[in-house]
Amino acid sequence: MKNIKKKIAIARGDGIGPEVVAEGIKIMKILENFSDYHFEFIETPLGGQVLKDTGTNLPQKSFDQMKNSDAILFGAVGLPDLPLGAAESAISKIRQGLDLYVNLRPIKLYDSLRDKCPLKEEYIQNGINMTIIRENTEGLYAKIGAEVSKDSVINKMIYTRKSVERIIKFGFEYAEKKGHSEIISVDKANLLECSQFWRNIFQDIGKNYKNIKQKNFFIDSFCQWLIREPYSVQTVVTENMFGDIISDEAAYLIGSLGMAASGNICPGKVSMYEPIHGSAPDIAGKGIANPIGTILSVKLMMEESFGDKIYGNLIEKAIELSLELGRTIDILPKNDLRKGKLKTLTTNGMGDLISQHFQTFLKK
């Protein structure tokens, strides 16, 4: 008897989006076979190809079905032959339309990928394991009040107290829940009024969390800190654009952009999970995309939307074990000796290997 029923909206998107989402679904189907979960997968087409076919990058029906689901699994959108942003604005429509104000980005370097980290050992030390929490609905990316004329252009960065307070509170609560001893807020308060507003609120809210050490970094200085002492970074909270930029930098520290997961979260409501990478037109259709960021997004969904840590942990264990046996090319070691011991896997092969281990754990 399947007594935990969840409706999952599937937004495959463009490029490698559909390739990696298929591997995420594979994991969920295994989970369904060996647990009390029953997943109803609902296709919610969106993105560049859908724009070409229907004239909109996010059909109303897809949005409504996402809104009525329990969680959304999203691939990536963007096609190189479309104008910049034409497909991508579907993402902001969902983030704003569903008020997904938290962008949660865990960044963890698995032991077996230490030699894929571009930093020397002395900068990695006991490992990299941080979470970047990015404000996801306001700032420059909300594109409120853009003014374009022939000779000038304005993008307005707008922040409201409500938005800054809720994301910073989420950051502190997350740090507390994870037992982190420190939280870093990233801004540009030496230049921007928006950042001064942000920093004041961070410091005010911080008074309620005296057991968590609080640090403020300017964005430029944090970019160097991220490669200088990444092992010391625990929870980071920052505004929309800064969070976008530092999370790609951080993702490369764990071996590949294809390794990083994210959750677009509205606590207690429908949330959307996606790998942080884009549609990667340079490798689309070749079957070589790394699906681990998407599979880790399923783990995040289990934990954050369904409060289920056990299965999330088993998914992660299956990934760690699989990395010792075979990998997609983006995470193969450069060193030929080590490379020789590992199978080169396709997207599908990587997903199969992880699924096999996951299934073995579930059967125990």
| Residue 274 touches Mg ion, criterion: CB under 5 A | no
Q: Is 141 a catalytic residue?
A: yes
For the chain, the distance separating the N- and C-terminal CA atoms, rounded to the nearest angstrom, is 19
As measured in angstroms, the least distance from the Cβ of 258 to ligand NAI is 3
List of residues contacting ligand NAI (CB under 6 A): 16, 20, 76-78, 88, 91, 256-258, 274, 277-283, 289-290, 293, 330
As measured in angstroms, the least distance from the Cβ of 264 to Mg ion is 12
CA 201, 265, 234, 207 dihedral sign is: positive
Q: Which stretch binds Mg ion (CB under 5 A): 28-36, 238-246, 327-335, 356-364?
A: 238-246
Q: How many CA atoms lie within 13 A of 338 on its CB side?
A: 13
Residue closer to Mg ion, measured from CB, 252 or 306: 252
21 contacts which partner out of ligand NAI, Mg ion, none, CB within 5 to 8 A by kind? none
Of 304, 292, 229, which is closest to residue 261 (Cα–Cα)? 292
Residue closer to ligand NAI, measured from CB, 13 or 206: 13
Q: Give whole-number Cα distances, 193 to 14, 32, 196, 198, in Å.
A: 37, 49, 5, 9
As measured in angstroms, the least distance from the Cβ of 108 to ligand NAI is 16
244 contacts which partner out of ligand NAI, Mg ion, none, CB within 5 to 8 A by kind? Mg ion
| Residue 244 touches Mg ion, criterion: CB under 5 A | yes
277 contacts which partner out of ligand NAI, Mg ion, none, CB within 5 to 8 A by kind? ligand NAI
| Cα 251 to Cα 236: distance, rounded to the nearest angstrom | 14
As measured in angstroms, the least distance from the Cβ of 244 to Mg ion is 4
229-252 in b/e burial notation, b at 16+ Cβ within 10 A? Answer: ebbebbbbbbbbbbbbebbeebbb
Active-site pick, 93, 209, 231, 248: 248
Q: Any residues with CB less than 8 A from the CB of 20 and at least 6 apart, and which?
A: 75, 76, 258, 275, 289, 290, 291, 293, 294, 347
Active-site pick, 6, 26, 116, 188: 188
Active-site pick, 101, 110, 141, 159: 141
Per-residue DSSP letters for 129-164? EEEEEEE-SSSGGG-TT-EE-SS-EE------HHHH
Beta bridge partners of 11: 74
| Residue 70 touches Mg ion, criterion: CB under 5 A | no
Q: Is 248 a catalytic residue?
A: yes
139 contacts which partner out of ligand NAI, Mg ion, none, CB within 5 to 8 A by kind? none
The distance from CA 140 to its chain's CA centroid, rounded to whole angstroms, is 19
Q: How many CA atoms lie within 13 A of 262 on its CB side?
A: 29
Residue closer to ligand NAI, measured from CB, 188 or 277: 277
Residue closer to Mg ion, measured from CB, 41 or 252: 252
Residue ranges binding Mg ion (CB under 5 A): 244
Catalytic residue annotation: 141, 188, 220, 244, 248
